Amino acid sequence: MFGAIYGDVIGSYYEVHCTKDYNFVFNQDSSFTDDSVLIAAVCKAIIDDPSDITAFRVNARIKEYAALYRQYYAYYPHAGFGNMFIAWAKNPYAKNGRSYANGAAMRVIPIGYAYSNMEQTLLQAKVSGMPTHNNREAIKAAQAVAAAVYLARHGEGKDKIKEFLEKKFKYNLSIPLSVIKESHVFNCRSSYSVPPAIIAFLESTDYESAIRNAISLGGDADTQACIAGGIAEAYYKEIPEHIKRFCDRRIDGSIKAAVKEFDQKYWMA
Ligand SMILES: [Mg+2]
């Protein structure tokens, strides 16, 4: 799971200082952001209740996710959360939010590891998005990312992953990254930012190239690298030591603890 979090850390500086340079340096001011905080919350939600759900349990499960999102927001209120999320998190009576942004897709990576079939993976991805992203476009993006992780960790090739996502979610993943990059800007809308993040993985040759591809799009760098890095870790199953060394000291202890506990149960299983 650290593949997603390292992507967030390395991308954090370039979310503000956008770059199109593939060979950008890892900046000393990098830090974990809201992406990592909410991934830790999803890890905790799965550790606390790892069971499959049926349609009858959907509403109860949405409430469990919502409670953990609010709890983790309260731990790290200054981690870079968006205004809509903050307003939702501060109001315990708020209804499910309807954001179409990429927040549901950025935190969904653990779900790709935790369930034994695609149907449950897609249902859990939807439910994990619902508290704040009760929106068709945002849920679709979250499901696409969870499905990519699920397929990658089961050893499926990139062609199969691409074909599945194009068919199921009607994404065009055949546009070369070099073409997308020419006009790509910062925009956290799901339909705009998530497919290029998936392509950043599809065009990669290893973990590091996936996050370099994503960050050098010059867009929502931390979230796009979080998504590309999360899928890349599931696919390549290894992360270079120099990236671990750079990122590990930039992640807070309680995020690390939740993610490590999740990894011991699911990643190393
Ligand atoms: Mg962020």
Cα gap 100→110, rounded to integer Å:
21
* Per-residue pLDDT tens digits for 197-221: 999 999 999 999 999 999 999 999 9
pLDDT at residue 267, rounded to an integer: 77
pLDDT in tens, 74-125: 999 999 999 999 999 999 999 999 999 999 999 999 999 999 999 999 999 9
How far does residue 33's CA lie from ligand 1's centre (Å)?
5
Instruction: Assess if residue 22 is contained within a domain.
Output: no
The confidence score (pLDDT) of residue 268 equals 67
Residue at 21 is within a domain? no
Torsion angle defined by CA atoms of residues 161, 165, 168 and 171, in that order, rounded to the nearest 10 degrees: -160
In a domain, 148, yes or no: yes
Query: Nearest-CA neighbor of 164 among 136, 196, 218, 122?
Result: 122
| CATH number, domain with residue 182 | 1.10.4080.10
3-state secondary structure the chain: CHHHHHHHHHHHHHHHCCCCCCCCCCCCCCCCCHHHHHHHHHHHHHHHCCCCCCHHHHHHHHHHHHHHHHHHHHHCCCCCCCHHHHHHHHCCCCCCCECCECHHHHCCCCHHHHCCCHHHHHHHHHHHHCCCECCHHHHHHHHHHHHHHHHHHCCCCHHHHHHHHHHHHCCCCCCCHHHHHHHCCCCCEHHHHHHHHHHHHHCCCCHHHHHHHHHCCCCCHHHHHHHHHHHHHHHHCCCCHHHHHHHHCCCCHHHHHHHHHHHHHHHCC
Q: If you measure from the C-alpha of residue 6 to the centroid of ligand 1, how many angstroms do you get, rounded to a whole number?
A: 12
Going from the Cα of 209 to the center of ligand 1, the distance in angstroms, rounded, reads 20
d(CA 122, ligand 1 centre) in Å:
23
* Ligand 1 centroid, distance to 54 Cα (angstroms): 31
Q: Residue 108 Cα, ligand 1 centroid: separation in angstroms?
A: 14
What's the 41 CA to ligand 1 centre distance in angstroms?
A: 14
How far does residue 177's CA lie from ligand 1's centre (Å)? Answer: 22
Q: How far is the CA of 13 from the centre of ligand 1 (A)?
A: 10
CA of 55 to the centre of ligand 1 (A): 31
Residue 66 lies in a domain: yes
Task: Note down pLDDT in tens along the chain; length 269 residues.
Answer: 899 999 999 999 999 999 999 999 999 999 999 999 999 999 999 999 999 999 899 999 999 999 999 999 999 999 999 999 999 999 999 999 999 999 999 999 999 999 999 999 999 999 999 999 999 999 999 999 999 999 999 999 999 999 999 999 999 999 999 999 999 999 999 999 999 999 999 999 999 999 999 999 999 999 999 999 999 999 999 999 999 999 999 999 999 999 999 999 997 65
Distance 17 CA to ligand 1 centre (A): 13
Question: What length is written for the chain?
Answer: 269
126 found inside a domain: yes
- Can you read off the two tokens belonging to residue 237? 């199953």
Q: CB–CB of 258/43 below 8 Å?
A: yes
Cβ atoms of 8 and 35 within 8 Å: the answer is yes
Give domain status of residue 34, yes or no: yes
Whole-number pLDDT of residue 269? 58
- By the CB criterion, residues less than 5 angstroms from ion ligand 1 are 33-35, 80, 222
Question: Residue 159 is part of which domain span?
Answer: 2-16+27-267
Classify residue 114: in a domain, yes or no: yes
* Domain total of the chain: 1
